[in-house]
Amino acid sequence: MLAKRIIPCLDVKDGRVVKGINFLGLKEVGDAVELGRRYALEGADELVYLDISATLEGRKTFAELVSRVAEAVNIPFTVGGGIRSLDDASRLLDAGADKITVNSAALARPELIGEIAAKYGRQFVVVAIDAKKGPDGRWMAITHGGSKPSDKELFSWAQEAEARGAGEILFTSMDHDGTRNGYPCDTYAALSDRLSIPVIASGGAGSVEDIAAVLTEGKADAALAASIFHYGQYTVAEVKRQLAEAGIPVRI
Amino acid sequence: MIAIIDYDMGNLRSLENALDRLGAAYTVTADPGTIRRSDKVILPGVGHAGLAMDNLVERGLPEVIRSLRQPVLGICVGMQVLCRDSEEAPEKPCLGIFDAHVRRFSPTSGCKVPHMGWNDIRNLEGKLLRDLESGAYVYFVHSYYAGLCPDTVATCQYAGQLFSAALRYENFYGTQFHPEKSGSVGERILQNFLAL
């Protein structure tokens, strides 16, 4: 049976992981390659590396990091942050990334999704959507790390992204991200029902129960999490063991 | 020396990295002589089966591949082109090593296409899958599958379909999944191939 995926997310700035300080026995705290290997050994199904560097120099360091991750890690990994063009995507593919994620750049120029998918296949393109529920109850996509609203409604934008060649949708509710109060499961289920590509849930997990809920009621195919792993609240192995006990198919 | 066949069907970086981690020597090539002389051959591939066949034909490789007697491993679309034919390109016969037809998954309720992620493989047979437990998880990304046939040496189930996760005929092996991305299980499979 196809397993639900658990995906730790590592935020990287100037080549080093910004979060993630509580791994016992880890010699080089913050080393992005070492952390990735550690997660892979613990049973992570995939990894996501997000470049949050603001400088050109930081971006260059990130591409070098992607090569080192590809050499060291034996599971699939996705990279994102600052991908604006087909050339940016090509550079990361050449460095060894299995998938890339685009967010603001796809909102600004949706054709980008199709350009990357046509060249490298849709399995390579993850479209990330950050959205917020407006006063009228509609979920609207927002750009630039949650600071600018767009004119795209979540469901129609996700469907458009799929039609243009997205292989997966990574949806983060900005109303839940960082709260550790759980995911908006109804919204995830509605999104999943409208798409024929996998949905990755992100942002809001405070417990294994939250993750279990979004993978069942929320019909998500995968859950991405940062804080609950980085701060050592749970290991990936512990989360997967508890999900398995709850009857959710996971790779153990 | 392993020859990785380079026929412009996707990035070979992860396969190269996986072989590097195992300390295996390889060369990336489309040269018939180099391929024939190598101890083992890997035919990778991501993308459209029809394009894969076109690219092999353009490089004069179908006959070269069919005539190989050393162990050959087709991965993903590389496995599919070793089958008889594919619904993805019905007008183009494939290499016909494995006695399987390749069909498209029909989306069923709750099952998305492509079949992407970790799924378990069962009914494992033969040296390529030696030392693996039934139910081991491996990483798949595909919309087309090879049906069951006498060459099936591992099965997987998705979208109500039991299909060939791995195939073998004489010196030819194929995996629908990506051993180079399948964690320690994938490493074991690649080691088994290297040890053939």
How confident is the model at residue A233, as a pLDDT? 78
> Tell me, what's the pLDDT at A20?
43
Using CB atoms, pick whichever of A122, A168, A251 lies closest to residue B118: A251
Question: With contact defined as beta carbons under 8 Å apart, do B49 and B102 qualify?
Answer: yes
pLDDT along chain B (196 residues), means of 10: 94 94 98 98 93 96 98 98 96 96 85 91 98 97 96 96 98 98 97 98
Between residues A182 and B3, which one has the greater pLDDT? Answer: B3
A90-121 per-position pLDDT tens digit:
999 999 999 999 999 999 999 999 999 998 88
- Residue A27 clears pLDDT 60, i.e. is over it: no
Report domain extents, chain B.
Answer: 2-194
Q: Where are the domains of chain A?
A: 5-245
A149 contacts chain B (CB < 8 A):
no
**Contact: B118, A198; criterion CB under 8 Å:** no
pLDDT per residue as tens digits for the range B182-191: 999 999 999 9
* B2-194, CATH topology level: Rossmann fold (3.40.50)
For chain B, say whether A71 makes contact (Cβ under 8 Å).
Answer: yes
Q: What positions of A carry a catalytic annotation?
A: 11, 130
Residue A110 C-alpha from the chain's centroid: 19
pLDDT tens figures, A146-178: 677 889 999 999 999 999 999 999 999 988 887
ipTM above threshold 0.95: no
User: Which class does domain A5-245 fall in?
Assistant: alpha beta
